[in-house]
Amino acid sequence: MTEHSADRPEGTPPEDITAEGTSHGGRQDNGRGAAQETPVPRAPGRGTPHDDGAQVSTGSDTAGTPGAPETAIPELVIISGMSGAGRSTAAKCLEDLGWFVVDNLPPALIPTMVELGARSQGNVARIAVVVDVRGRRFFDNLRESLADLEARHVTRRIVFLESSDEALVRRFESVRRPHPLQGDGRIVDGIAAERELLRELRGDADLVIDTSSLNVHELRAKMDAQFAGEEEPELRATVMSFGFKYGLPVDADLVVDMRFLPNPHWVPELRPFTGLNEEVAAYVFNQPGAKEFLDRYAELLRLVAAGYRREGKRYVTIAVGCTGGKHRSVAMSEKLAARLAAEGVETVVVHRDMGRE
């Protein structure tokens, strides 16, 4: 993924090992404005709730008054390394695995971020922080922050992204941007200065990944191997009903057409209702081919989902269309989302055009 433009000052190139850019710090909304969303029930998340107002402490300490439950100190990963070596891709991978990711946080604020995570009642159990030369005026504070974390018995790991000079030069030249430390010199001068600045941190790293010959998928696979544990990387799906007369969804990965089924719009007693109505849904699924379509398409999605996971794709939008996006597509979207949720896919239903008529 690219370095985020909101955090990137002039002169800093995007990472070479790229995927589509996104903001860190947990999942964001899908940006579909007024579209109606129906969350599909899912298994409870990780982490055990704890009382608010707790201080960061060791596992044997308690927060506040005697008898208060122990606070959960978040697990911490610090991502650093050479500019252009893939820091943003590594951060995005951890975000997809459920980590709370903060990009370009000044090192002096890392202990504060851990403390806030400990006060989150278990909602922020794992924090990843990207530290790089964009915050070079704060970089001298990193050693002090690491010592502070060690004194607090915070479990932390340092991931360092490395790459050869030749690969980094090629990446910077491909995006036609200067190295953030080259000043009036050449790209190789900036790379040399950064290596010297990061030398001590590289020596302290728990994991060093050389990305010289890696593409984005290979880097993600290495991160998954280190941090996913035995769990299979999670796939998140958005099932979106829509009306063809309002246009195709621009963000759809897969599109299916329900107009092969009879339209409840032409049944006077069903016309005022939507596909969320039980009678409308029953009418749709009593039509020839409806149940067969649901069964076979759900089976196809099972195959596709497995391939997406292997290729490192974590998000998929499935658009289900009918004429107006009110009856057939809504009913099918609800059933399809329920099938995906039963397969362990985190699923959200969005009815884009319901209510527009």
Binding site annotation covers 134? yes
Does residue 228 have a pLDDT over 80? no
Binding site annotation covers 132? yes
CB-based contacts of 323, cutoff 8 Å, min separation 6? 243, 244, 245, 259, 263, 265
As a whole number, the mean pLDDT across the chain is 78
Binding site annotation covers 83? yes
84 close to 195: Cβ distance less than 8 angstroms: no
Binding site annotation covers 84? yes
Binding site annotation covers 135? yes
Domains in the chain, ordered, with CATH? 75-227 (3.40.50.300), 236-351 (no CATH)
Binding site annotation covers 223? no
Indicate the pTM of the whole model: 0.53
Report the range of poorest mean pLDDT among 34-38, 168-172, 222-226.
Answer: 34-38
Binding site annotation covers 259? no
What pLDDT is attached to residue 344? Answer: 83
Binding site annotation covers 344? no
Binding site annotation covers 88? yes
SS3 assignment for 122-171: CCCCEEEEECCHHHHHHHHHHHHHHHHHHHCCCCEEEEEEECCHHHHHHH
Binding site annotation covers 82? yes
pLDDT (tens digit per residue) in 70-116: 567 888 999 998 888 889 899 998 988 888 999 888 888 888 888 88
